[in-house]
Amino acid sequence: MSFEKLGLNQSILSAVRKKGYENPSTIQAKAIPQILAGRDLLASSQTGTGKTAGFTLPMLQLLSSRTLGKKRPIRALVLTPTRELAAQVFDNVKTYGENLDLRSTVIFGGVNQNPQVKAIRNGVDILVATPGRLLDLHNQRLLSLSQIELLVLDEADRMLDMGFVRDIRKILALLPNKRQTLLFSATFSDEIKKLTKEFLNNPAVVEATPESTTVEKINQRAYQVDKKQKSDAIIDLIAGGKWQQVLVFTRTKHAANRLTQKMVKCDVSAMAIHGNKSQSARTKALAALHSNEIRVLVATDIAARGLDIPLLPHVINYELPNVPEDYVHRIGRTGRAGASGEAISLVSVDEIAYLKSIEKLIGIDLPLEVIAGYEPTEKPGDIQKPKGNKPNFNKRKPKSNNRNFRRKPRN
Ligand code: ADP
Ligand code: MG
């Protein structure tokens, strides 16, 4: 498959060539023709598979195919969850659109709004925005969304995770009903399907799941370990095996923080990334792992999602994900210069059901093994749950403005 065959015009193709891409990625090859045909679209594929160009290229083509009035109302809106992602998308729009007569700008919170307002006043065809700043400027009547023809919800799963669903609903209510809507996501969860039903009109659905051969190539092992032994066991594995560049996944940010602290105490250099850390802090931590400044990066699924993670020799699931697809995303990060990497899961007795649904999804049996010295003793009833996510009001003394007592989105 080549970019030429996807129906893109010469101006766009030459920008793509300049960028150095030879062939479209799977998700690009599947998504681009559907978008050019004018259809609503739900597209899901792992992080790092080129979703940005997957919507940017056809968006540019659709917009440039119609001549524009002088006023340039906003015709395309791209929503992203964070300012860093908004800036990345905007960069892509500029790069691929350099040969076209289209204008674009980006708006996000945390900075002075005046330059953003000025850019919009000058007329833009494409607006890339985070939901909060967009609503803010709209409420001040500084922009109009009444001429939107194309809406892109990028990283839609992260937007949901970050609690943006109400903002998204508000924004959708401001858009014309007659429009094309594209939803891009790294996962294909029930929540994403619900959002799709609510906002998309008879969408084409395209997916690029990692090839099963990739999963098969990874050396996967599952160890049954008692919950209260897991932190000692993982430190022993990493220190004993003299492993470098280890990516560890936890389910919650609390677990990520706790485990990181314990590792550092035991002289295993580590950093944590999760939803409370900024994108730039996450990128820095990843760079530190890659350059061997630290040995271990402890991440939640959400934190890992927006990152372009290079292949690493070791991935450890400290806790299994409760969404089996996340397991595939996690272990897809292992591998080393052509050779296969190693993915290890520490499974406590209460997680065996998660392991079963993972085995079903990947079509591979992962027999439970035992780490010498960490033979499991816990029985299903021994483990209290759920810990960490829900505050226990009886145990802790409430402080007047303690935000931790409010329910927050899971990360
Ligand atoms: P996603 O949104 O799916 O996580 P991105 O759009 O951020 O992925 O792209 C990930 C990386 O892949 C970027 O560095 C991008 O420049 C690169 N990329 C995108 N499309 C292609 C392609 N067709 N060929 C080679 N590299 C590509
Ligand atoms: Mg993306």
pLDDT for residue 401 is more than 50: no
Question: Which ligand is closest to the CA of 51, given by its number?
Answer: 1
pLDDT of residue 308: 67
Residue 389 has pLDDT above 70, yes or no: no
Ligand 1 pocket test target in 16, 21, 89 with most atoms within 8 Å of CB: 21
pLDDT digits (tens, 9 = 90+) for 93-121: 999 999 999 999 999 999 999 999 999 99
Which residues are in the CB-under-5-Å shell of ion ligand 2?
51
The residue contributing the CA closest to ligand 1 atom 2 is 51
Could you tell me which residues are beta bridge partners of residue 222? Answer: 345, 368
Question: Which ligand has its closest atom nearest to the C-alpha of 53?
Answer: 1
Distance CA 322, CA 354 (A): 6
In angstroms, what is the span from residue 259 Cα to ligand 2's centroid? 29
Q: Which ligand is nearest to the CA of 92?
A: 1
| Rounded distance between C-alpha atoms, residue 122 and residue 213, angstroms | 51
pLDDT of amino acid 167: 96
Pair 393, 404: CB distance under 8 Å: no
**How far is the centre of ligand 1, averaged over its atoms, from the C-alpha of 89 (Å)?**
11
Choosing from 78, 79, 308 the residue with most ligand 1 atoms within 8 A of its CB, the one to mutate for a pocket test is 308
Return mean pLDDT, the chain: 87
Cα 8 off chain centre by: 27
Residues with CB under 6 A from ligand 1: 21, 24-25, 28, 47-53, 308
Which one of the ligands is nearest to 27 CA? 1
Residue 337: pLDDT band by 50, 70, 90 thresholds?
Answer: very low
Q: Residue 180: CB partners within 8 Å, gap ≥ 6?
A: 35, 38, 39, 40, 62, 149, 150, 151
Prior bond of 386 cis (ω within 30°): yes
Residue with CA at minimum distance from ligand 1 atom 16: 50
- What residues contact residue 144 under an 8 Å CB cut-off, 6+ apart? 73, 74
Residue 306 banded pLDDT, cuts 50, 70, 90: low
Minimum-distance ligand 1 atom for the alpha carbon of 46:
3
pLDDT at 88: 92
Tokens of 117: 């307002």
CB atoms under 10 Å from CB of 163, counted, come to 11
pTM, 2 dp: 0.62
Cα distance between residue 161 and residue 395, in whole Å: 28
Residues 210 and 332 sit within 8 Å (Cβ to Cβ): yes
pLDDT tens digits for 3-43? 999 999 999 999 999 998 888 999 999 999 999 999 999 99
Q: Ligand 2 centroid to 306 CA: how many Å? A: 7
